[in-house]
Amino acid sequence: MTKNSRRGSKNGPAGRFLGGFARALALALLVNVLCLSLVFLTPTPVRAAGQKEELEIGRMVHAQIAAQTVILDDPIVNEYYRKICQKIFKAVGNQPFPYHFYIIKSHYLNAFAVPGGFIYLHSETFISLENEGQLASILAHEIAHITSRHFARRSESAKSLGLIGIIGMLAGVALAGAGGGGQNAGALGQALMIGASAASVQAMLANSRADETEADSKGRAYLIKAGYNPRDMYWAFKIMNEQSYQLRGNVPGYLSTHPGLSARMASTFADQASSPPAPKDPAFLAIRDRVMALTALPARATKQFTKRIADDPNDAGALHGLGLLAYRQLDYTKAQDFMTKALKISPNNGEYLTDLGGLALQRNKPDEAIRYFEQARQHGYRNIQTSVGLARSYELVGRGKEASSIYDQVSGTVTDYYPVALEKAGLFFGQNGQRAKGHFLLSTYYEATGRPRDSIFHCKAALEAPGGYSYQSKCDARTRNLEELIEITKKSGIGFRN
């Protein structure tokens, strides 16, 4: 196993699967158009989708979204985000399948639900909100679409698309709406929608007024049960309405997924129209700063953070935001300067210490990184990013036993919201005599990041390595599921990066 396993060198193991992205993407666009033409010319009738079908469709659509967009994998943001999601989910009660929540890096406003419990929020939507309750409101509304099984109802009205067409269309609107969220995601999404009539697309994707009203009502009930104020839903929708809460940019107007927002605000939320907005929410605003630094257009983020520092030179959040932005632009000297200033204002801040540790690693200073990560953990900050960073730092200074212990803990608990942890752990074990374990973790990493062929390759490599028999059942099931996914998504008109 080599250190090129993530992106794949030309001659490395994973590299055999990746090749030239530009050529593959151009070919995929052409194939997408041809496949969709065949799909819509020879439709397969479908009945209203059952729960098992919804879960399968959601899994396939998510694999395409993961492959073609940028899903924010920052564990500090995602830990905060998912705690809110779980509060809402607890209020919903038992469901037939687990829910999955993701933030897509996109400069367009939207949030949407995919059958099978997959909820997506565009980063621009997060940046536009003002407090935790408003974020919870958007999530409660989207969860209500799934619990009300609106997709199952609409699938019958769009039966002319066929099951494969439905999968491709759902992925298409998600990718087109993501716009600048990934390499050519918008163009790819547009290609997926070629060949369908506007009426068929509208029937499949656009929630009806009745659906929206039901989601408003249920979402509001979930919100209140989770301990939030209903005024937050009114204000969240007000913000979205004022900033065009719909897919926009390069997406046709008839693909708006949330119609009639103004009228719904005047009915379902009429009792909250005169309520004042909630007071400032420092915890939310700190996370919002982070999302802006990591996802917004650099010029916009720089302008906002710089203005805040001009108003208050001790604004640690704005200073750290400029540090993250410089880090994102690979200006490590400037990043170090801003982050250090922020830490002086807010000493022992676990988030700041963790980011400085990560920056030290990028600057090839593992001893310095260890000091930052250990200090963060000493002050009770044990975020997965801190743990993985410390393990990597120990690895680089030759403290392999300590690195192995942390990687073991991380790989046993990590979920798909921070797949980089699986990659780092997989590389470590593979390069340190545990090839079967290393390949299996890399297989899990590639599955989570929408690269099914690489995932299958590493599963097969795990089984061929000494001790690989312990992964037999998991790899057999994973390979079977991924091969089915590749075949079905191929028919839907979209490919993967490998």
The DSSP secondary structure of 448-470, one letter per residue, reads HTT-HHHHHHHHHHHHHSTTGGG
Whether residue 187 is found in the same domain as residue 299:
no
State the Cα–Cα distance between residues 338 and 323, nearest whole angstrom. Answer: 5
Packed helices 75-92 and 384-396: angle between N→C axes, nearest 10 degrees: 150
- In the prediction, which pLDDT does 495 show? 55
Element (H or E) spanning 381, and its range?
Answer: none
Q: Which two tokens stand for residue 244?
A: 């065009």
Of the three residues 272, 306, 328, the one that is the final residue of a domain is 272
pLDDT digits (tens, 9 = 90+) for 329-377: 999 999 999 999 999 999 999 999 999 999 999 999 999 999 999 999 9
Instruction: For residue 256, tell me if it sits in a domain.
Output: yes
What's the mean pLDDT when you consider all of the chain?
Answer: 78
Rounded Cα distance, 19 and 14, in Å: 10
- The pTM of this model reads 0.78
| CA within 13 Å, CB half, 138 | 33
| Domain of residue 343, residue span | 282-492
498 vs 488: CA distance, rounded Å: 16
Q: What is the reported pLDDT for 53?
A: 75
In sequence order, which ranges of 179-297 are alpha helices (DSSP H)? 185-193, 198-205, 209-225, 231-242, 261-267, 282-295
Domain-located, residue 339: yes
Rounded to the nearest 10°, the torsion over CA 269, 270, 275, 278 is 10
pLDDT of residue 267: 66
Whether pLDDT at 48 is above 50: no
Instruction: Note whether 261 and 337 are same-domain residues.
Output: no
Half-sphere exposure for 403 (CA within 13 Å, toward CB): 22
Could you report the per-residue pLDDT of 236-246, keeping only the tens digit for each?
Answer: 888 887 775 44
Neighbour count for residue 65 (Cβ, 10 Å):
26
Pairing relationship of beta strands 100-104 and 118-122 according to DSSP bridges:
parallel
Residue 333 lies in a domain: yes
Cα distances (Å, whole numbers) of residue 201 to 40, 157, 421? 12, 10, 38
Position 249 scores a pLDDT of: 45
Q: What is the separation, in whole angstroms, between the first and last Cα of the chain?
A: 18
Number of domains in the chain: 2
Least confident of 130-144, 273-287, 359-373: 273-287
Is 398 in the same domain as 477?
yes
On whether residue 2 sits in a domain, the answer given is no
Please give the pLDDT value at position 377: 95
Cα of 102 vs its chain's centroid, Å? 3
pLDDT for residue 129 is more than 70: yes
Q: Go through 234-245 and write b for each residue having 16 or more CB atoms within 10 A of its CB, e for each that does not.
A: bbbbbbbeeeeb
DSSP secondary structure string for all residues of 60-82: HHHHHHHHHS-B---HHHHHHHH
Whether residue 222 sits in one domain with residue 159: yes
The yes-or-no verdict on residue 182 having pLDDT over 80 is: no
Pairing mode, if any, of strands 118-122 and 111-114?
Answer: antiparallel
Q: What is the pLDDT of residues 71-101, one digit of tens each?
A: 899 999 999 998 999 899 889 888 777 888 8
* 260 and 287, same domain (yes or no): no
| Tokens matching residue 279 | 């007071």
Q: Report the alpha-carbon distance of residue 306 to residue 293 in Å, rounded.
A: 12
Residue 364 in any domain: the answer is yes
Q: Is the pLDDT of residue 465 over 90?
A: yes
Q: Judge if 183 and 292 occupy the same domain.
A: no
Residues 314 and 459 in one domain: yes
Average the pLDDT over 480-487 and give the result.
Answer: 87
Provide mean pLDDT across the span 163-171: 54
pLDDT of residue 215: 84
* Nearest-angstrom CA–CA distance, 62 and 115: 10
pLDDT bin (cut points 50, 70, 90) of residue 110 is confident
Residue 12, domain member (yes or no): no
User: Does position 46 have pLDDT exceeding 70, yes or no?
Assistant: no
Write the CA distances from 245 to 104, 109, 256, integer angstroms.
16, 6, 8
Domain membership flag for residue 277? no
**Quick one: 263 and 334 in the same domain?**
no
Of 13-27, 251-265, 318-332, 447-461, the range with the lowest mean pLDDT is: 13-27
In DSSP terms, 121 is beta-bridged to 103, 111
Tokens encoding 342: 């922020």
pLDDT tens digit sequence for 384-423: 999 999 999 999 999 999 999 999 999 887 667 788 999 9
Rg (alpha carbons) of the chain, rounded to whole number: 23
pLDDT of residue 70: 85
The per-residue pLDDT for 67 is 76
Q: Is the pLDDT of residue 378 over 50?
A: yes
Residues facing 234 on adjacent strands:
none
What is the rounded average pLDDT of the residues 261-278?
70
Per-residue pLDDT tens digits for 183-220: 444 444 443 433 444 444 445 444 466 777 888 889 99
User: In this structure, are 268 and 311 located in the same domain?
Assistant: no
Cβ distance 259 to 209 under 8 Å? yes
* The pLDDT of residue 464: 97
* pLDDT attached to residue 94: 81
113 beta partners:
119
Task: State which of 246, 272, 298 marks the end of a domain.
Answer: 272
Q: Does residue 27 share a domain with residue 121?
A: yes
CATH of residue 339 = 1.25.40.10
143 and 185 fall within a common domain: yes
Q: Are 335 and 359 in contact (CB under 8 A)?
A: yes
* Per-residue pLDDT at 99: 84
Domain boundary among 272, 303, 336: 272
Q: Is residue 54 part of a domain?
A: yes
* Same domain flag for 288 and 352: yes
Give the pLDDT confidence score for residue 280 in this predicted structure.
85
pLDDT at 213: 80
